[in-house]
Amino acid sequence: MSVYEWLAAAKEGKLSRAELFPRLARHLPKMLIAQQKQTLSDQPPQPLMVRGSQPGSKRLVLFTDAEAAEAIRVQNHGTVTLMERSVLSLLQRSFREELDGVVINPGTSAPLVIDRQYMLLLFCEYALIHMKNIGGAWIPSKGNDLLMIDLGNGYYTIPVYLNEEDAEEICKQSGGGKPRVHPWHRVRERCWELGANAPFLQYGFPEQVVFLEKHLAELCGDQRYSPLTSLEKAVIEGQGTANSWAICQKLAHVGHIWIISDENGKMVPLSKGESFTIDLFTSKEHALSLIATVRKEQKDLPQLSPLLIRAEPFFRALEPRRPIVCINRGSAESWISVVDDTLSHVIRLMDNKD
């Protein structure tokens, strides 16, 4: 399908924004803006705008090619010139100038109006392409330490930026550090250490948006999203001994795993069974759910919280105690080992990894 066909399909509701926006980002890194000559000769041309959804608001006009802009040029009697610009920079500019969104190909049979809230999603897709190309992100840093931001309610993550200038501005605001490009595997590692699924893009600017876990996985080249997601998929696909080998294989590759810990970061077993049982989780949300469930039954439960830890040293430390392993206990799809040698199998697989 051509760009025109994509826009027509989107207009007819046959193509969602979630399907359209990644296509535009991959195939149209640049678009045309229409600049209108001013009445006074000494005034610079201004980008063509149309009215937004609110009184006094405006939307930026973009064109996919010169043919799409022909009707606008004719209507304005030659006072409009076309300039090719990076879509990513145009979207940033639209946020910072508090525009109400953009309109692509107005005056054609399939114009696309993108309100400000959806413009953020489009910006995210273009940012992904840009950051894939540079192989990392600009981050305010002090040596090898990355700036950390507090999102409130015990949640932390790291900010990532598209360019050195934006990261430098945040360094000035935060009282020090220098902008550095860090590779995506380091970004993912630090996010997991903080218990975050993904970093915060352009934090502190009008175009700021929290990346999703799938975005970070895409940047890290993992089309399965993450080893934890792959583990959760294996858990959902089946329980019992028939699935034990698949679970062990996934556990050997997770890198990090969620547990429930006390205020000192020590694992707290919540199972009351006779056998020593450890609870592992594929997400912070699964761990929080079990904490909430147990707290209803045990009102005097101490302060507990999910903690993302390195899996291998944790497994090796507990393997001599031959624990029963439970994954995502309390959720609709959970898994529990029927024997006590699960970690022994996992460690053997770890030792035999290429």
Sequence-distant (≥ 6) Cβ neighbours of residue 33 within 8 angstroms: 47, 48, 60, 61, 62, 63, 82, 83, 85, 90
Spatial contact of 120 and 209, defined as CB atoms under 8 Å apart: yes
Which CATH class name applies to 3-116? alpha beta
Task: Convert the pLDDT of each residue in 180-208 to its tens digit.
Answer: 999 888 898 888 888 888 899 999 999 99
Segment 305-314 mean pLDDT = 85
Task: Convert the pLDDT of each residue in 210-266 to its tens digit.
Answer: 998 778 878 886 544 456 777 888 888 764 445 788 899 889 988 778 899 887 788
Cα(229)–Cα(234) distance, integer angstroms:
9
Which pLDDT value is given to residue 75? 75
Pure H helices in the chain? 3-11, 17-27, 70-75, 87-96, 116-134, 164-174, 184-194, 213-219, 227-237, 244-251, 284-297, 311-318, 342-351
The answer to whether 3-116 and 135-219 have equal CATH topology is yes
Cα(154)–Cα(73) distance, integer angstroms:
54
| Fold that domain 227-351 belongs to in CATH | Trna Endonuclease; Chain: A, domain 1 (3.40.1350)
Q: Where are the domains of the chain?
A: 3-116, 135-219, 227-351
Which pLDDT value is given to residue 353? 67
Task: Convert the pLDDT of each residue in 24-66 to its tens digit.
Answer: 999 999 999 988 876 666 677 788 888 888 888 999 999 999 9
**N-to-C CA span, the chain:** 42
Spatial contact of 283 and 333, defined as CB atoms under 8 Å apart: no
pLDDT above 60: residue 291 = yes
Sequence-distant (≥ 6) Cβ neighbours of residue 143 within 8 angstroms: none
Nearest to 32 by CA among 75, 86, 74, 71: 86
For domain 135-219, give its CATH number from 3.55.50.30, 3.40.1350.90, 3.40.50.300, 1.10.150.120: 3.40.1350.90
